[in-house]
């Protein structure tokens, strides 16, 4: 931390003690996050036909590990992330490149890097790394700069290069999330609305061209999404069964462990992408609304923390990660309700899966870090200027 | 430099509000969707989830047995064994099928059906490989079961008719249920081996015989494997049925008919019980237990003697001279003739400018009513019918059951046609002419009748004028009919005497077929009906002998009768298609059956006398 110490520090928040940091830690925010995880573990217990195995137990231990990561990350100095943002982004890009070259194939796509003991999913890491890099880039940008097209070329590349690599894997869901998160940040820092409209139009025009480059299974998914009843036993099966599971829960649900659709395996991937329907089936509209409200509050907290933060890096970091989280929620629930095609986006904090949980907790650690350091002033180049 | 910072902070704050509103909007859409799916469409999806979850499988109920009046089994259920194959129990389907076909050959069509079914059904669902295994086949499979992974033997049952082709048209047959038999998507269609009655009492009493399928509701998982039983109702077997027919008389009648295309009905004159109902040629109803081979089927439906048809109730014939019984009765009842009134037959009579011939060209001379019946004189009836008139003849015929259903408990009975003045005006747009009356008087012309109607008429004349309803299903107590037709017993006695003369007096048309079994005799009336018109040219050239004609151009032979003569118990009707005349073809058959019926009666009564001692 020497690079800002040698400057003339006049602000008291440079060196917060652990105690001070803990005092600024947002415990209700953490509580809501843990609540969602516990709901998730209960659902995994049900999905395992009323058993801790094979999912709920593992998820619980992942939660404990992730919780440690969250706390550790929240206690770091925000300037550290500012300083190493590009480095982290670069490293993630290399990992992403490595996965295209040497990655393990799983579920029909190359997503994993196998390091012997642990497997890493670089696309998950990239979700944070890209936000870090963009937050760093836009931290010192003035509105005039943002409005110039030339200035916007590097951040566009920061988004598009990993998106291209991830599409290559192929992982449409993650790629879309990166694009939308990038758009969100561009929007926040003040890129003119007409540019978004222009890109939107261009995107619509290019859909048929892009569709041509999709893999067959992806094309099928999109087509099935448009008309799921056309093939109820084949590709439409997921969507139809998902809707049946959710809808059959009714207002009050069938009761915990009483879901027939999930317990009799009519629901594919019930422990991962479709876990929201297990909640809907067993706890009805009340249960699914409850979870949805918690999600909205968590997202709201992200907005508040970002709004309170006095430095742009923290603001943009918290917003980027919150947008990312919101996208998870919206895409997953939209998908299981039959509003979006099945693109393979898990329900955050609930779906079974280690990497996703760890990355999410890491991101929440960063948001907590922003919260703790909300009064910190960071200069245009990462130190204190002006 | 603070200014750009301030402007930027303002811009971000502004844009954050826009973004927050946007997110709220998305949230409301998603919440709305949740409401729609879980509340508005909740019931629909609950139903779909239930349909996913619950599988209903029916189990076959055994069909009721059918017995004859003496307890002889006419239809029952036979245990069968079938080889079934379950895919999940083997890793090489082809190898198992190959080794199976080494033991029991499977033809190419069967093999493709099996393979198709295996690939279509889920791995744990059994597929039928071979039905109705013989004992040798079962032991061959049992011995080689280690080489036949996935093959197992399953018990089932099929319908069995021990009397084979002798009881076919009375009992009927069953065959596998088809889509057109039930309403759409009936679960019965998925019940392998479920059969329904196609003819005879199997068809008319199907509801009584069929039983109720068992229903097993199980919870199934996504792969269709059942997880637990929710509800299990065992099948309820069908009710047994006792018929009025006598298996021994069925056999006798069938044998008596020989190769002829015949309808034979034997009735109890007092109760209307059908003791024998035979339509020949017949077929073995056991044929329909399994898919019937095409060539066998073609043979059945292309046979000109129509073995598939129950001619006793569904075919109509001109009754011919047996109708003279009705005309005579009508005359006696109306007073237009009396027992002693004689009429002269010269061999022909002229009505208007038309010549009507008697079958005997040289004429019968003077005849009274019983002699007219004995010789079946046409001229006698031409003469009296003009006096009686069509209305009274038709009315009498209707009273005896012509022109309406007898009400026999079988499906497919025809009412046939009894012409009246009104009928002709309405249907032929022509007035009734005297020639029509003359034709009617000898049972020709528009008139026709089913064999069962003829039998009913004979029974009602024999029982002293009580109305009966022929029936095959035995009632708990069969009581003699007391329903009077309102005919004078003395007049019926005259008719009965005439019928007695036919059989037992020299010159009677059925004299050659008479019998005398310990004093028991029979009575009857013959008829021969032309299947085509005799042209004037043919009449001039001399009528050809029946043997010279092609089978399908020969006359139908018809006979109705009863026995014993003095105390009638049985009535019979026999129709031999193209038999070449009633006296020649039908009377001997009727005689044989009545004689056997009386002989069986005597045997059983002497047996019961012995037992009484």
- The string of DSSP codes covering A20-71 is HHHHHS-HHHHHHHHHHHHHHHHHHHHHTTS-STTTHHHHHHHHHHHHHHHH
- Chain B residues in contact with A134 (beta carbon < 8 A): none
What are the residue ranges of helices labelled H in chain A?
A: 2-5, 18-24, 27-47, 56-74, 78-102, 122-139, 143-146, 149-168, 172-189, 193-213, 216-226, 237-248, 260-263, 275-308, 312-336, 354-372
**A138 — contact with chain B (CB < 8 Å)?**
no
Neighbours of B323 (CB within 10 A): 30
Return d(Cα A79, Cα A83) in angstroms, integer: 6
The reply to whether residue B13 touches residue A307, judged by beta carbons under 8 angstroms, is: yes
Nearest Cβ partner of A184 from B19, B44, B52? B19
Range of the domain at A331: 13-372
Query: B80-159 in CATH: which number?
Result: 3.30.1390
- The proportion of chain B whose per-residue pLDDT surpasses 90, expressed as a percent, equals 53
Q: Are A272 and A353 in contact (CB under 8 A)?
A: yes
- Pick the closest to residue A77 from A384, A370, A379, A382 (CA basis): A370
Kindly indicate the confidence band of residue A118, based on its pLDDT and cuts at 50, 70 and 90.
low
- Chain B residues in contact with A333 (beta carbon < 8 A): 30
Rg, C-alpha atoms of chain A: 21
Residue A10 has pLDDT above 50, yes or no: no
Residue B540 has pLDDT above 90, yes or no: no
Residue A9 has pLDDT above 50, yes or no: no
What rounded mean pLDDT belongs to chain A? Answer: 85
Q: Does the residue A382 lie in any domain? A: no
Nearest Cβ partner of A264 from B8, B11, B221? B221
Return d(Cα B555, Cα B551) in angstroms, integer: 9
Q: Please give the pLDDT value at position A11.
A: 46
Region B430-442: what's the mean pLDDT?
Answer: 91
What rounded mean pLDDT belongs to chain B? Answer: 88
Q: Does the residue A37 lie in any domain? A: yes
Region B366-386: what's the mean pLDDT?
Answer: 93
CATH topology of domain B56-72+163-242: Penicillin-binding protein 2a (Domain 2) (3.90.1310)
Return d(Cα A43, Cα B426) in angstroms, integer: 82
Tokens matching residue B212 = 């109720």
Tokens matching residue B34 = 């949740």
Residue A107 has pLDDT above 70, yes or no: no
Distance from the Cα of residue B347 to its chain's centroid: 43
Q: Does the residue A365 lie in any domain? A: yes
Helix A275-308 / helix A27-47 crossing angle, nearest 10 deg? 170
Kindly indicate the confidence band of residue B322, based on its pLDDT and cuts at 50, 70 and 90.
very high
Residue B377 has pLDDT above 90, yes or no: yes
Q: A114 by DSSP, 3-state: which?
A: strand
Q: Does the residue A381 lie in any domain? A: no
Query: Which residue reads 């480095």 in tokens?
Result: A87
Query: Which residue reads 């092609």 in tokens?
Result: B550
Q: Please give the pLDDT value at position B611.
A: 66
Q: Please give the pLDDT value at position A81.
A: 93
Residue A108 has pLDDT above 60, yes or no: no
Region B180-207: what's the mean pLDDT?
Answer: 80
Task: Determine which of B23, B39, B221 to mutate to test the interface with A (most A C-beta atoms within 10 Å).
Answer: B23
Kindly indicate the confidence band of residue B102, based on its pLDDT and cuts at 50, 70 and 90.
confident
Name residues whose C-beta falls within 8 Å of residue A43's C-beta, 6 or more positions apart in sequence.
Answer: A275, A278, A279, A282, A350
3-state SS of B312-381 is: HHHCCECCHHHHHHHHHHHHHHHCCCCCCCCEEECCEEEECCEEEECCCCCCCEEECHHHHHHHCCHHHH
Return d(Cα B318, Cα B9) in angstroms, integer: 111
Return d(Cα B558, Cα A134) in angstroms, integer: 109
Burial A126-149 (b: 16+ CB within 10 A, else e): bbbbbbbbbbbbbbbbbeebbeee
The reply to whether residue B34 touches residue A307, judged by beta carbons under 8 angstroms, is: no
Region A10-21: what's the mean pLDDT?
Answer: 69
Kindly report the nearest CA distance between residue B54 and chain A, in angstroms. 10
Return d(Cα B328, Cα B443) in angstroms, integer: 12
Q: Are B441 and B324 in contact (CB under 8 A)?
A: yes
Residue B11 has pLDDT above 70, yes or no: yes
- Chain A residues in contact with B220 (beta carbon < 8 A): 264
Q: Please give the pLDDT value at position A8.
A: 42
Region B383-408: what's the mean pLDDT?
Answer: 94
Nearest Cβ partner of B33 from A188, A323, A339? A339
The reply to whether residue B37 touches residue A337, judged by beta carbons under 8 angstroms, is: yes
Residue A99 has pLDDT above 90, yes or no: no
Tokens matching residue B499 = 């019928």
Residue A386 has pLDDT above 60, yes or no: no
Residue B179 has pLDDT above 90, yes or no: no
Query: Which residue reads 């009134």 in tokens?
Result: B341
Nearest Cβ partner of B4 from A143, A244, A248? A143
Q: Please give the pLDDT value at position B269.
A: 95
For the ranges A240-244, B235-239, B422-426, B520-524, the lowest mean pLDDT is seen at A240-244
Instruction: End-to-end CA distance of chain B: give it in Å, rounded.
Output: 139
The reply to whether residue B8 touches residue A264, judged by beta carbons under 8 angstroms, is: no
Q: Report how far apart, in Å, the C-alpha atoms of A169 and of each of A100, A359, A375 are.
A: 7, 19, 41
ipTM of this complex prediction, to 2 decimal places: 0.91
Helix A122-139 / helix A78-102 crossing angle, nearest 10 deg? 140
Q: Are B177 and B188 in contact (CB under 8 A)?
A: yes
For the ranges A60-64, A216-220, A299-303, B566-570, the lowest mean pLDDT is seen at A216-220
Q: Does the residue A231 lie in any domain? A: yes
Tokens matching residue B554 = 């020969």
Phi (first) and psi of residue B350, to 5 degrees: -110, 125
Q: For residue B571, what are the β-bridge partners?
A: B267, B562
For chain B, the residues whose C-beta falls within 8 A of a C-beta of chain A are 1-2, 4, 7-9, 11-13, 15-16, 18-20, 23, 26-27, 29-31, 33-35, 37-39, 41-46, 48-50, 52-53, 219-223, 227
A304 to chain B: closest CA residue:
B16
Q: Please give the pLDDT value at position A3.
A: 44
Return d(Cα A110, Cα A19) in angstroms, integer: 44
**A334 — contact with chain B (CB < 8 Å)?**
yes
Kindly indicate the confidence band of residue A293, based on its pLDDT and cuts at 50, 70 and 90.
very high
Residue A199 has pLDDT above 80, yes or no: yes
- The proportion of chain A whose per-residue pLDDT surpasses 70, expressed as a percent, equals 86
Region B474-499: what's the mean pLDDT?
Answer: 90
Instruction: Dump the DSSP string for B166-231.
Output: GSHHHH--EEE--GGGS-TT-GGGGSTT-EEE-SHHHHHTHHHHH-B-EEEEEEE-TTS-EEEEEE
Region B226-240: what's the mean pLDDT?
Answer: 85
Sign of the Cα torsion A199, A200, A206, A212 reads: positive
CA within 13 Å, CB half, B169: 30
Q: Does the residue A385 lie in any domain? A: no
Q: Please give the pLDDT value at position B283.
A: 92
For residue B140, give the H/E element and its range: helix B135-143
Q: Please give the pLDDT value at position A228.
A: 57
Where along chain B do its domains lie?
A: 56-72+163-242, 80-159, 247-298+309-612
Higher model confidence: residue B164 or residue A231?
B164
Kindly indicate the confidence band of residue A5, based on its pLDDT and cuts at 50, 70 and 90.
very low
Residue B57 has pLDDT above 80, yes or no: no
How buried is residue B386: exposed, middle or buried, by Cβ count under 10 Å (0-12/13-18/19+)?
middle
> Which CATH number among 3.90.850.10, 3.40.50.2300, 3.40.50.12780, 3.40.710.10 corresponds to the domain B247-298+309-612?
3.40.710.10
Q: Report how far apart, in Å, the C-alpha atoms of A253 and of each of A56, A108, A210, A258, A352 are.
A: 21, 34, 41, 9, 22
Q: Please give the pLDDT value at position B495.
A: 94
Kindly indicate the confidence band of residue A7, based on its pLDDT and cuts at 50, 70 and 90.
very low
Name residues whose C-beta falls within 8 Å of residue B222's C-beta, 6 or more positions apart in sequence.
Answer: A264, A265, A266, A267, B52
Higher model confidence: residue B108 or residue A225?
B108
Q: Please give the pLDDT value at position B415.
A: 93
Return d(Cα B489, Cα B467) in angstroms, integer: 14
Tokens matching residue B46 = 């609950």
Strands B66-67 and B226-233: unpaired
Q: Are B204 and B170 in contact (CB under 8 A)?
A: no
Kindly indicate the confidence band of residue A232, based on its pLDDT and cuts at 50, 70 and 90.
low
**Which of A138-142, B311-315, B476-480: highest mean pLDDT?**
B311-315
Q: Does the residue A238 lie in any domain? A: yes
Residue A385 has pLDDT above 90, yes or no: no
Residue B120 has pLDDT above 80, yes or no: no
Q: How many independent structural domains does chain A possess?
A: 1
Q: Does the residue A316 lie in any domain? A: yes
Rg, C-alpha atoms of chain B: 36
Strands B151-160 and B174-176: unpaired
């Amino acid at each position: 931390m020497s690079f800002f110490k040698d400057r003339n520090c006049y602000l008291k928040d440079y060196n917060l003690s652990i105690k001070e940091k803990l005092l600024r830690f947002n415990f209700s925010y953490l509580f809501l996050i843990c609540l969602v995880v516990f709901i998730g573990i209960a659902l995994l217990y049900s999905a395992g036909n009323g058993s801790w195995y094979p999912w709920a137990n593992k998820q619980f231990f992942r939660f404990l590990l992730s919780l440690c990561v969250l706390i550790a990350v929240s206690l770091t100095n925000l300037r550290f992330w500012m300083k190493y943002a590009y480095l982290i982004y670069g490293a993630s890009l290399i990992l992403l490149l490595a996965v295209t070259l040497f990655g393990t194939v799983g579920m029909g796509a190359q997503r994993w890097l196998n390091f012997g003991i642990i497997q890493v999913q670089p696309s998950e890491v990239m979700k944070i790394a890209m936000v870090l890099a963009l937050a760093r880039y836009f931290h010192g940008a003035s509105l005039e700069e943002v409005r110039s097209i030339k200035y916007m070329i590097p951040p566009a590349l920061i988004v598009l290069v990993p998106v291209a690599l991830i599409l290559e894997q192929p992982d449409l869901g993650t790629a879309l999330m990166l694009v939308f998160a990038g758009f969100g940040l561009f929007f926040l820092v003040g890129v003119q609305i007409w540019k978004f409209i222009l890109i939107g139009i261009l995107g619509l025009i290019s859909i048929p061209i892009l569709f041509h480059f999709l893999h067959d299974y992806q094309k099928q998914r999109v087509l099935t999404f448009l008309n799921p009843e056309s093939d109820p036993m084949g590709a439409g099966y997921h969507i139809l069964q998902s809707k049946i599971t959710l809808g059959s829960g009714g207002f009050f649900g069938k009761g915990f462990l009483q879901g027939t659709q999930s317990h009799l395996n009519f629901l594919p991937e019930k422990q991962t992408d479709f876990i929201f329907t297990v909640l809907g089936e067993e706890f009805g509209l009340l249960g699914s609304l409850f979870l949805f409200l918690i999600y909205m509050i968590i997202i709201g907290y992200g907005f508040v923390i970002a709004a309170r933060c006095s430095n742009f890096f923290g603001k943009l970091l918290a917003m980027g990660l919150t947008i990312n989280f919101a996208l998870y929620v919206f895409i997953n629930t939209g998908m299981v309700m039959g509003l979006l095609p099945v693109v393979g986006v898990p329900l955050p904090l609930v779906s079974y899966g280690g990497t996703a949980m760890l990355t999410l907790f890491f991101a929440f650690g960063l948001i907590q870090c922003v919260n703790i350091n909300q009064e910190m002033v960071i200069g245009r180049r990462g130190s204190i200027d002006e | 430099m603070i200014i750009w910072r301030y402007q930027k902070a303002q811009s971000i704050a502004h844009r954050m509000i826009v973004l927050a509103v946007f997110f709220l909007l998305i949230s409301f859409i998603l919440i709305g969707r949740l409401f729609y799916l879980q509340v508005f469409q909740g019931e629909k999806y609950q139903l779909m989830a239930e349909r996913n979850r619950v599988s209903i499988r029916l189990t076959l109920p055994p069909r009721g047995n059918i017995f004859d009046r003496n307890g002889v089994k006419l239809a029952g259920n036979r245990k069968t064994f079938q080889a079934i194959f379950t895919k999940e129990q083997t890793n090489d389907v082809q190898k198992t099928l190959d080794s199976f076909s080494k033991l029991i050959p499977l033809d190419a069509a069967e093999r493709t059906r099996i393979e198709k079914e295996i690939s279509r059904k889920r791995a744990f669902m059994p597929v039928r490989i071979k039905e109705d295994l013989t004992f040798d086949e079962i032991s061959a499979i049992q011995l080689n079961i280690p080489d036949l992974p996935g093959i197992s033997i399953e018990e089932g049952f099929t319908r069995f008719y021990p009397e084979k082709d002798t009881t076919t048209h009375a009992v009927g047959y069953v065959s596998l249920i088809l889509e057109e038999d039930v309403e759409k998507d009936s679960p019965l269609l998925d019940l392998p081996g479920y059969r329904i009655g196609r003819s005879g009492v199997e068809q008319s009493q199907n509801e009584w015989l069929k039983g109720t399928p068992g229903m097993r509701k199980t919870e199934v998982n996504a792969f269709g494997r059942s997880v637990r039983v929710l509800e299990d109702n065992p099948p309820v077997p069908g009710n047994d049925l006792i018929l009025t027919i006598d298996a021994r008389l069925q056999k006798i009648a069938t044998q008596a008919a020989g190769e002829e295309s015949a309808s034979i009905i034997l009735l109890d004159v007092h109760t209307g019980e059908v003791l024998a109902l035979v339509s020949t040629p017949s077929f073995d109803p056991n044929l329909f237990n399994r898919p019937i081979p095409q060539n066998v089927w073609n043979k059945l439906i292309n046979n000109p003697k129509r073995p598939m048809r129950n001619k006793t109730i569904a075919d109509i014939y001109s009754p011919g001279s047996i109708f003279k019984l009705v005309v005579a009765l009508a005359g006696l009842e109306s007073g237009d003739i009396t027992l002693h009134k004689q009429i002269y037959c010269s061999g022909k009579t002229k009505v208007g400018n038309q010549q009507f011939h008697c079958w005997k060209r040289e004429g019968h001379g003077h005849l009274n009513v019983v002699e007219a019946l004995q010789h079946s004189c046409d001229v006698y009836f031409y003469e009296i019918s003009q006096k009686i008139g069509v209305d009274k003849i038709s009315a009498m015929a209707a009273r005896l059951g012509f022109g309406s259903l007898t009400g026999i408990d079988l499906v497919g009975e025809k009412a046939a046609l009894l012409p009246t003045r009104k009928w002709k005006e309405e249907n032929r747009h022509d007035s009734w002419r005297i020639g029509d009356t003359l034709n009617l008087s000898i049972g020709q012309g528009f008139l026709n009748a089913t064999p069962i109607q003829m039998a009913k008429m004979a029974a009602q004349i024999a029982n002293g004028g009580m109305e009966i309803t022929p029936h095959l299903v035995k009632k708990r107590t069969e009581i003699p009919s007391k329903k009077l037709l309102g005919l004078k017993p003395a007049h019926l006695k005259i008719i009965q005497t005439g019928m007695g003369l036919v059989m037992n007096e020299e010159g009677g048309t059925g004299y050659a077929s008479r019998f005398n079994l310990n004093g028991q005799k029979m009575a009857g009336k013959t008829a021969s009906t032309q299947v085509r018109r005799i042209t004037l040219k043919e009449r001039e050239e001399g009528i050809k002998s029946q043997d010279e004609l092609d089978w399908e151009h020969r006359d139908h032979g018809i006979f109705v009768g009863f026995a014993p003569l003095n105390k009638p118990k049985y009535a019979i009707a026999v129709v031999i298609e193209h038999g070449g005349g009633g006296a020649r073809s039908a009377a001997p058959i009727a005689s044989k059956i009545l004689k056997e019926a009386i002989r069986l009666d005597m045997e059983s009564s002497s047996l019961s006398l012995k037992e009484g001692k």
